Chain A
Amino acid sequence: MKRTLFIIGGLVIICLLAGVWAYFLFFGTPNPDGGVFANFDFGNTDDPTVIIQPEPEPIAPVVDVTSPERLRQLTTQPVAGFAEVQLTPSSTPEIRYIEAGTGHIYSIDLETGEEVRVSATTIPLTNTGALTPNGQFVMMQSGSGIGSEHVIGIISSTSDELRNFAIPGTITSFAATAENTFVYAAPAGNSLIVRAYNPSANTVAELFQIPFRDATIAWGTTEAGPHYVYPQTTSRLEGYVYSYINGVAARESASGFGLSVVGSSAGYIFSQVQNGEYNTYATNKTTSETNAAPLTIIPEKCVFLQTDATSAICGIALTDYPYLMPDPWYKGEVRMNDDLWEYNLNSESASLLISPQNATGRQLDIIRPQFGIDDANLYFQNKIDQTLWIYEYNPFANLN
């Protein structure tokens, strides 16, 4: 009995399925705007405002360089070195930077904002670097301490491979010059020898000798200088300033505890601890006068203009400076919240250019300020995250 019922039920199901199939076969042609089974009559779901874009072609990342803001962040990753370069006299200036850690070199077109990687050759543990103004050569420090290595790289215009070789020996400080060469200091006994390396001609020239080893060199923009040299700074030991022009040393009048200096051919700005206070002074070489600056400045945060040797742009924090400065700032125990100021040696006055905190909401501890071509743009790094920033100092300079 049960078996009979099962057979009848099965036949009924088969007939129903056959009927449904026959119905769709003759009457159920699906609408072109949607299948019957997909159309649950929920109303019109076609939203004309949603446009599905075609899959984008892989393109180079673009940095916003056309924003009306004069102060902008150029990178999000730490940077080891940078320079505004001009590959040919007629080409558009571009900013090239060395990525910290990898040594990869990137270029940002200052007109389009297009960023391209010009060197994919990895130089591990890169922490410091310099690029020549023609953008063809780079010098990088890889690692630190005894294991550090200094590498010269030749940037190819046709591939992203960097031809490179190491400079033998220890190098304590280096910089690129306007002559597209590198100047560097190497220890020799109890002194330092400063040499210039020309990567185009592969020649080395000895420039001058510094008669002590623990020296900080505030490099000039050319091989001839002036380069300002002083014993490494500490608030607890005395320092003295020497300027080197065309290899000839001159003792400058500044001396004191916690002394550090930045200068040009027109004069120099220095800070020192005096009577328990960290103060800043400026010496005008034309008038041979030294006067107190209106604001306290850490000279390492300053750079003189190339077009006006009497003016410097400085990152200045309007705060009380500890009497042991600048040691706590060197150690990272103190973070600055800098504004950009312009200081003039002749007028002995300072004027505020911009407050990054107000303009961007970010705290900037400015280090390694450096001007681009014709002083149009000022570049610097934020010590807090080592990122690269740009400030359009004179946007019309390139139009002249």
Chain B
Amino acid sequence: MYKLWKVRITWLFWLIILLLYGYMRLRVLLVALIILFPSAVVTAQFDAAQFGGTPQITITIDPTHPSPGDLVTASIDDYAGGMYGSEITWRYDGSVVESAANQRQIQFVAGTAGSNTVVEATLQRPQGGAETLRAAVNPVYMDIIIEPQTRVPDWYIGRSLPSLGSQINATVLLNNGSFIDPQSLVYTWRINNKVIEGGPIRGGNQVAFPTPRGASVVVSVTATTPAGDTIARRAVSVNIVLPELGFYEKHALYGMRYFPLTASTPLVGSILTLQAEPFFLDTRVYNRPDVAEWEINSTRTDNSNDNPYEITLRSSGGNSRTDVNFHVRSLQEVLQGSEENITLNF
């Protein structure tokens, strides 16, 4: 009864404040009232605990939003000790789990995508009476696909990797048996725990952001319904690399040889077309490099080739050792670049 009156008084208090504010438009009065009656606000927040109301016992699920096949732990959350001495019976999808009798937690494997698994714990209290706690598990695949906008050779079948300053495109796909329409959800993206795109975005399952400094970047995303219920949440760590450079032989007829040249690679013939292949260089830098220089035996060479990454070498006869160096770099972002050297034996 006391609790009920307490709530009524609190509501009345706030109603008076609003009426006063609406009619008089006096903010000073509002502040003064809050200063004068702080205890009313605080009391409203801690009402139940302070006056001996029964603390709520719940089941917590870890991980909160599991993927299909994940190992899930369901625990009885009883921080106030309200279930002391109770007999506990666990049910998984309606079937009693005998091995988990009187255990405070059970473990199980999450079902298939889109399935709905109900976990129940029945508490038989020593003083009589029973309480049944329920939790539902709806596994959803949440895939975060990272697509760095850095350059790899056309013949390279692997994915590119992000390097400092380059753009990263990220896509999140939710699947509960079929792809969930991105437009039906609200996405909140975080890069190194900072929200991007200004906040949650309806249908925003794809974002682009520049690669920050550091060895790695943590990309996390939360998907919620428009009503605010969280469907899934996930974070991935993405390694940041430095651009690399490899030298490959380009055959006039057959095109690129798929093995990098090394000092021990035997070269046949007196003419060699050499292709410098940057890996993981920002595509913008690759297309418009500030520096793209070849050096032959430590002498800078004007490359007459239309392609700055390609050079044709001609042997002067006999066995010759040639040091070839290539350097590509952006002058705005100096870590966007690479320099490599190779010794060729004609």
Contact = CB atoms under 8 A, between A and B. Distances in A.
A232 B260 contact: no
18 contacts: A78-B254, A101-B253, A125-B255, A144-B153, A212-B145, A231-B146, A237-B146, A237-B159, A237-B161, A237-B239, A240-B143, A251-B141, A251-B175, A300-B157, A326-B158, A330-B156, A331-B260, A332-B259
B103 interface: no
A190 interface: yes
Contact of B154 (A78, A148, A238, A331): A148
A292 B69 CA distance: 17
B156 A211 contact: no
Interface string A95-136: 000001110000000000000000000000101000000000
The B contact surface, by secondary structure, is strand
Interface in B224-248: 236, 238-239, 241, 246, 248
Interface in A217-262: 231-234, 236-238, 240, 248-251, 253, 255
A145 interface: yes
Interface of B: 68-69, 113, 141, 143-147, 153-161, 169, 171, 173, 175, 178-179, 206, 236, 238-239, 241, 246, 248, 251, 253-260, 279
Contact of B157 (A212, A216, A249, A250): A216
The A contact surface, by secondary structure, is loop
A214 B154 contact: no
B144 A238 contact: yes
Interface of A: 78, 100-102, 125, 127, 144-145, 148, 190, 211-214, 216, 231-234, 236-238, 240, 248-251, 253, 255, 300, 326-327, 330-333, 335, 383-384, 386
Contacts of A384: 259
Given A144-B154, A211-B171, A240 B145 contact: yes
Most chain A beta carbons < 10 A, residue from B157, B236, B246: B157
Contacts of B153: 144
Contacts of A248: 178
Contacts of A100: 253-255
Most chain A beta carbons < 10 A, residue from B144, B158, B171, B279: B158
B68 A253 contact: yes
B135 to A, nearest CB: 24
A233 B159 contact: yes
A386 B259 CA distance: 12
Nearest to B182: A211
A331 B246 contact: yes
Contacts of B248: 332
A204 B77 CA distance: 58
B158 A238 contact: no
Nearest to B246: A331
B260 A332 contact: yes
